[in-house]
Amino acid sequence: MRLIRLTRLAPIAAFVVLALPSIAAADFLVEPFFAWSRNPPQSSVDTGQWHNGGGVAAEWTFGSLIAGGDVGYASSFFDPPQTVVDLIQTSYVLTGSGQFGVTRQYAAERRLLPYATVGLGLMRQQARDRDGLIDVTRNDWGWNIGGGTRVMVSDIFGIRAEARYFRDLKQPYDQPSDLVANLSPLSFWRISVGAVIRFGD
């Protein structure tokens, strides 16, 4: 009986083996980037600010599919506007996530490669005041969605522009009081421009 089952599976195994060369023909992309992240206003009197940062992405493309991840950093993310007294000494948001999505399959004659991905990962938030009284560090799960375009200058090198939305999956406080009950989970947009270094056939 076991031999019969193995015999029935032989055609499927043969198909998988024959398909392996096309599956293995994957490209590996390394993409360092500069980024600008917008801190959303927390009240009606606040204004959103853009904060400098950067990061790096590493992705594999299997035909039209993408799998990989990126790490991004935004400095001074929780600093108030310059028009008010700045009590915060340092603050930042650090994101690290895995992503998957779709893209236009690479070919030598194609230079414009749009893509879209969704991801899940960690968002590290930190803020410290100048007097050392406040030192808040959070590591929360978050999701993101975004897309952009890669423009290949050659078979190896290109440039990338992207817009991505991040959102924290955890409430600002586990047991909110009346003072913080109206705060929403952290969310922000990140736009980035960077290089594309392609390793593939």
pLDDT digit string (tens) for 146-161? 999 999 999 999 999 9
Residue 5: pLDDT above 60? Answer: no
Give the residue carrying structure tokens 């024959």. 18
In this structure, is residue 150 part of a structural domain?
A: yes
Quote the domain boundaries for residue 80: 26-199
Which of the pair, 158 or 131, is modelled with greater confidence? 158
Q: Is residue 33 part of a domain?
A: yes
CATH label of the domain that carries residue 126: 2.40.160.20
Residue in the block written with tokens 């992503």: 99
Residue 124 lies inside a defined structural domain of this protein? yes
pLDDT of residue 138: 84
Rounded to two decimals, the pTM is: 0.78
Instruction: Write the pLDDT tens digit of every residue in 58-109.
Output: 999 999 999 999 999 998 887 766 645 455 667 889 999 999 999 998 888 8
Tell me if 157 is assigned to some domain. Answer: yes
**Domain assignment present for 19:** no
| Paired tokens of 199 | 């390793």
- Nearest CA to 73 out of 93, 91, 90, 56 is that of 93
Check whether 189 has a pLDDT greater than 70: yes
Residue 7 lies in a domain: no
The answer to whether position 16 is within a domain reads no
Residue 34: per-residue pLDDT: 98
Does residue 97 lie within any of the structural domains? yes
Which is nearest to 190 in space by CA: 67, 91, 82, 75? 75
Number of separate domains in the chain: 1
